[in-house]
Amino acid sequence: MLFPASTPLSFAVFAPLARALAADPRVAVVVSARHGGRALARSCLDFPFSYLPGLLARWARFDAAVCPGFFFRSRRAGRLIEMFHGVSPKNYAVRDEVARFDRLFLIGEYHRRKFVRAGLLAEDDPRGVQIGMPKTDRLLVPDAACAAFLESLDLDRSRPVVVYAPTRSGSAGSSLDQGGFDLVDRMARLPVNLLVKLHDRSLRRYRDKLAVDYEQGFAAREAAGRLRLVRHHDIIPLLLAADVLVSDLSSVASEFLLRDRPIVFLAVPGHEERIRQGSARRFGVGDPEDLDYLRAAGEVVPPGGDPCAALERALADPGARSAARRERAELLFYNPGRATSRALAALYETIELNAP
């Protein structure tokens, strides 16, 4: 089994499935990585695996390749399986390229409907299998590793935890690109533990065209004691700790719905307009499960608005919008808490191997 990775996020996505397969003596787990190579893989994975450089992986024989994205192209893999790295109102993964995959491990009913609405899957297409998202299982069944990681942050337990996790930087932009450091500086003045988790593509080592070195800027603020910049590849421990999540268009906000805790969305008008135009082309006008539907689960702070006031409201009344959060979580995520088991069963069935 090949698990090709692009950036650290890839490892967080496929690690639960690969870890379970590594325990099966009949299965050889092989990993490749576009960035960071073998050293990155070792830092992100805690189970035995073999490593193969990306160019060699493209030509090697495998029974299946489980891909957390569309970047991997194989000449000799038996089955190509798309294991999506997230689900968000951007829906950039709903694209024609899925046609080259033998199986689509769909995250939930929302995902399935989008592919059907776009004409990329028929209602009864066996290629689309509802799996859930193995990465999020620990949000419902926390483990000792998450607890140990949170202990290592040495937080002030008397203060609530706020996690800021923006979407990727780039041509479409994120709240980080729009508000810069000023946005975070304002939140850091509140009596909270502010944890910042940057998207891989907001780091220069994974996106060398960035005009601003966000990691360096936040590291300086961390040294001044105003916040914590979390460099760990896995955001799940942070979502377990967070009392409130601040985000924009990131799929992290969808995952946090499973915690049923408040979300503050920061508006990014230019990127939102791009999403609306793309959705109209791909899904048609009048899609009931659009950007506005998903973000009704939290408070949206418009440009020039006060994120601190929204944060204070969220902390004061965490039960507000709970019904909307639970409704959307049910739509987005199939089999929450047990997605790894479902993915294993579907994978063994795909390669026609009896499950242990």
pLDDT at position 257 is: 98
pLDDT at 152 over 80: yes
Share of the chain above pLDDT 70, in %: 100
Return the CATH number at 110.
3.40.50
pLDDT for residue 226: 82
Tens digit of pLDDT for each residue in 302-345? 998 999 999 999 999 999 999 999 999 999 999 999 999 999 99
Same domain, 57 and 74: yes
In a shared domain, residues 294 and 311: yes
227 and 242 part of one domain: yes
Confirm whether 355 is domain-assigned: no
Mean pLDDT across the chain, nearest whole number?
93
118 with 26, same domain? yes
Same domain, 122 and 12: yes
Do 44 and 72 fall into the same domain?
yes
106 found inside a domain: yes
Does 343 lie in the same domain as 238? no
The CATH number for 214's domain is 3.40.50.2000
Higher pLDDT, 332 or 179: 332
Q: 159 with 273, same domain?
A: yes
- Answer whether residue 356 is part of any domain: no
Residue 39 has pLDDT above 80, yes or no: yes
Asked whether the predicted pLDDT for residue 102 surpasses 90, the reply is yes
Q: Quick check: 298 pLDDT over 80?
A: yes
Residue whose structure tokens are 């440009």: 303
Same domain, residue pair 231 and 90: no
- Residue 211: CB atoms within 10 A of its CB come to 7
Q: Is pLDDT of 146 > 90?
A: no
Contact (CB, 8 A) for 44 and 31: no
Q: Report the domain count for the chain.
A: 2
Residues 205 and 262 in one domain: yes
* pLDDT of amino acid 207: 81
Examine residue 190 and state whether it is found in any structural domain, yes or no: yes
- Tell me the C-alpha distance between 339 and 255, whole Å: 13
- Each residue of 269-287: pLDDT tens digit? 999 999 999 999 999 988 9
Cβ-proximal residues to 250 (8 Å cutoff; 6+ apart), any chain? 86, 88, 165, 166, 167, 168, 174, 199
Residue 60's SS3 state is coil
Instruction: Verify that 75 and 156 share a domain, yes or no.
Output: no
Model pLDDT, residue 5: 95
Question: Could you tell me the pTM of the whole model?
Answer: 0.94
pLDDT of amino acid 134: 97
Instruction: Establish if 210 belongs to a structural domain.
Output: yes
213 three-class SS: coil
- Based on the fold, state whether residues 206 and 346 are members of the same structural domain: no
94 domain-assigned: yes
Full domain range(s) for residue 175: 142-332
Q: Can you give the pLDDT at residue 179?
A: 81
pLDDT given for residue 136 in this prediction: 96
- pLDDT of 2 > 90? The answer is yes
